[in-house]
Amino acid sequence: MDTAVAAGNDGSDFPQADSSAMAGAAAWPKHSEARERLLQTASDLFYREGIHSVGIDRIIAEARVTRATLYRHFPGKEQLVAAYLLGEDTALRDSIAAAVASIPPDKILDAILEGIADDIGRHHTRGCPFINAAAEFPDPTSEVRRIVDEHRRWFRSSLEQALESAGHSSPKAGAASLVLLRDAALVGGYLDGVEATRAAFIRTAKTVLAAD
Amino acid sequence: MDTAVAAGNDGSDFPQADSSAMAGAAAWPKHSEARERLLQTASDLFYREGIHSVGIDRIIAEARVTRATLYRHFPGKEQLVAAYLLGEDTALRDSIAAAVASIPPDKILDAILEGIADDIGRHHTRGCPFINAAAEFPDPTSEVRRIVDEHRRWFRSSLEQALESAGHSSPKAGAASLVLLRDAALVGGYLDGVEATRAAFIRTAKTVLAAD
DNA sequence: TCCAAGATAGACAGATCGTTCTATCTTGTC
DNA sequence: GACAAGATAGAACGATCTGTCTATCTTGGA
């Protein structure tokens, strides 16, 4: 697998996304270079190879940090996994916020759909990080699952808002359908091929939007 | 989790499925009771808890077989995983074949959709075994992924055939959309709740079918 | 220069992992 | 009864797992 398509905290690409959000990110507390290298490496490995398949030894070797550095910044592996997922969540939230800030309400849905279609070919080529993590963490009370659930709640409600501001007649039902299709696009892009999935996703989503 | 909903080789329930197929199954070569107990236990654990999270020790302890028995029947863990997936595949194929044999062509699609909607609440409550396995096995050349791919090819083509025999105008496009929605139903049933997902799935699928 | 924060290089511990193997027992068939 | 197939009860192996810890070095700011 080509490292150029590795997932990390580089977010999804949405058409016409404004890069001014990146300037805002510079105001965040700055973590050490080693910590960032660690988290980036772990995130890549977790997304590309799965979470339980990748051990601490592998992560620190590839990140070129020591064990002590890892445990200094993260109390345990599960917290490292949580940080990976929160990174993915933040990146997508930033992308959606940027798109909403720069695209008129009547165009935002198309932009989101295009963004999803683009994402499955450019970044999330190994499925959805949240769905994949949920496959490996069956315990609904775990922190991983809490993050997954919160992410999905946010995404659904973002779609509802977009549908509402676009004047859609049933934003809740429309969002429910689009969440289904988003999930399916990520799974299908990984397992059935990007091009065919992209076409089916767009066509089906348009059908759904046109039906209301 | 209630063991009554644990996945295994008991297939999906499809409405009006004919139980005469169960009689046919009795003609198959009979495996030993220990082997069947082992495979059933492993399948339950793999589905409920994930594949890499469940070790050989756990499986043999819960199946009440020994290590030697396990390795006598399966050359390695990966072959046990393959057998689990093939069991899931066979069960679904049997269910679809039974439905096709007993339900008229103009009703088969509704039956399949109802079957999927029923399945996510009764059996596959922890997502799709194939999607979950693919999350844990990123190597496209592995046997696990070969089985997943073959399963998905079969399912897609079954939908195409059903759409064609029901007189649908574009069976390929329709099947592509329904595959998306089937994937999404299994993911959504696990992560977002069965009732809401079921309703959205049926409604969206009906929209898709009515659009052509 | 001093000091704190954070990095490095490991060693260590107990547990688990998947696989291989030996010895013995059990069961069904001839 | 003899025998083969398949079961049992482990032991052993080398590797890996996650987390804990010590000693020392490095860097930036006061």
CATH number (domain holding residue B36): 1.10.10.60
Mean pLDDT of A174-188: 98
The residue type found at B88 is: E
Residue A21: inside a domain: no
**What is the spatial distance between Cα A160 and Cα A176, in angstroms, rounded to a whole number?**
8
Residue A154: pLDDT above 90? yes
Find the angle CA(A59)-CA(A191)-CA(A185) to the nearest 5 degrees: 100
Alpha-carbon distance A143 to nearest alpha carbon in chain B (angstroms):
14
Same domain, B81 and B68: no
Same domain, A52 and A127: no
Q: Closest nucleotide to residue A37 (Cα to C1')?
A: C7
Same domain, A80 and A69: no
Number of compact structural domains in chain A: 2
**What is the spatial distance between Cα A170 and Cα A155, in angstroms, rounded to a whole number?**
17
Residue A174: inside a domain: yes
Alpha-carbon distance A181 to nearest alpha carbon in chain B (angstroms):
7
Residue B200: inside a domain: yes
Question: 3-state SS of chain A: helix, strand, coil percent to 5?
Answer: 75, 0, 25
Same domain, A159 and A59: no
Residue A181: inside a domain: yes
* Predicted ipTM of the assembly: 0.90
Same domain, B100 and B167: yes
Same domain, B59 and B105: no
**Contact of B124 with B61, CB cutoff 8 Å:** no
Same domain, B96 and B107: yes
For helices A33-49 and A77-102, give the axis angle rounded to 10 degrees. Answer: 90
Residue B123: inside a domain: yes
For helices B77-102 and B129-136, give the axis angle rounded to 10 degrees. Answer: 150
Give DSSP secondary structure letters for A3-33: GGG--SSS----TT--THHHHHHTTSPPPPH
Residue A155: inside a domain: yes
The SS3 assignment for A46 reads helix
**What is the spatial distance between Cα A28 and Cα B143, in angstroms, rounded to a whole number?**
45
Pick among A3, A155, A207, A212 to test the B interface (most B CBs inside 10 A): A207
Contacts of A131 in chain B (CB under 8 A): 127, 131, 135, 187, 191
Same domain, B107 and B52: no
Same domain, A80 and A40: no
Task: Report CB contact under 8 Å: A191, B127.
Answer: no
pLDDT more than 90, % of chain A? 84
Residue A80: inside a domain: yes
Per-residue pLDDT of chain B (212 residues; tens, 9 = 90+): 433 334 444 444 453 333 333 333 333 456 889 999 999 999 999 999 999 999 999 999 999 999 999 999 999 999 999 999 999 999 999 999 999 999 999 999 999 999 999 999 999 999 999 999 999 999 999 999 999 999 999 999 999 999 999 999 999 999 999 999 999 999 999 999 999 999 999 999 999 999 86
Task: Supply the range of the domain harboring residue A44.
Answer: 28-74
Which residues of chain A are at the B interface, by a Cβ-Cβ cutoff of 8 Å? Answer: 1, 48-50, 52-53, 126-127, 131-132, 134-138, 148-149, 152, 156, 173, 176-177, 179-181, 183-185, 187-188, 190-192, 196-197, 199-201, 203-204, 207-208, 210-211
**What is the spatial distance between Cα A164 and Cα B61, in angstroms, rounded to a whole number?**
54
**What is the spatial distance between Cα B13 and Cα B108, in angstroms, rounded to a whole number?**
14
Q: How many residues does chain A have?
A: 212
Which residues of chain B are at the A interface, by a Cβ-Cβ cutoff of 8 Å? Answer: 1, 48-50, 52-53, 126-127, 131-132, 134-138, 148-149, 152, 156, 173, 176-177, 179-181, 183-185, 187-188, 190-192, 196-197, 199-201, 203-204, 207-208, 210-211
**What is the spatial distance between Cα B126 and Cα A135, in angstroms, rounded to a whole number?**
8
Q: Which residues contact A25 (CB under 8 A, 6 or more apart)?
A: A94
Question: What's the gap between Cα A150 and its chain centre?
Answer: 12
Residue B167: inside a domain: yes
**What is the spatial distance between Cα B181 and Cα A178, in angstroms, rounded to a whole number?**
10
